[in-house]
Amino acid sequence: MKKLTLLVAFVAAIGIVNAQSDYKQAIGIRASSHTEYAAIAASYKFFVTDPGAIELNLGVGNRSYFGDKAPGVSFAGTYQHHFDIQPVEGLRWYIGGGAVAFNSRSGHDGYNGFGFGVFPTGGVDYKFSKIPLNLSADFRPTFHITAPNDYKNFHAHDVGIAARFTF
């Protein structure tokens, strides 16, 4: 019985070590509920190891405060560690974290200026087997370390979806 258990564990370990991502890089778009500076973003994701990926986002947003528009721009970087979801091939979940730098412009000083934040992240990632398409959904509650005075210090509502062309 010990030999059978050891054999099963060895085969499972080899399967985990040899598991390969279905894609190495992907480029596309990410839509987010974070409307201030990341409502829509260009998204580039690449794997640095089999389970480890980095996602970079260049985002824009526009929020109205007291009738005044406050357009914003942001750059975010995220590390994601992926885990397979069996038995669905191409489906993975991930956890990780990242940082965002942003700038917004407004006639109201409380919403005008530079900010920086950090966030944990988690989500699911699916790569279609027959076409070069990757879809993902994530959750990024953001803690602003510095931000214009009237920004909230914590944004718990940042949920995003992304569609990317894989290569």
Beta bridge partners of 92: 84, 125
Find all residues with CB under 8 Å of 127, minimum gap 6, and list them: 21, 22, 23, 90, 133, 134, 166
Domain count, the chain: 1
Residue numbers of the domain that contains 27: 2-166
**Alpha-carbon span 103 to 148, nearest angstrom:** 9
CATH number of residue 89's parent domain: 2.40.160.20
Q: Encode the chain (167 residues) as per-residue pLDDT tens digits.
A: 444 444 344 434 333 333 445 799 999 999 999 888 999 999 999 999 999 999 999 999 987 766 777 899 999 999 999 999 999 999 999 999 999 999 998 877 788 899 999 999 999 999 999 999 999 999 999 999 999 988 889 989 899 999 999 99
Number of H helices, E strands in the chain: 1, 10
Task: Give this prediction's pTM.
Answer: 0.83
Residue labelled with tokens 């569609």: 163
Q: Shortest CA distance to 95 belongs to which of 135, 53, 136, 123?
A: 123
**Alpha-carbon span 81 to 26, nearest angstrom:** 16
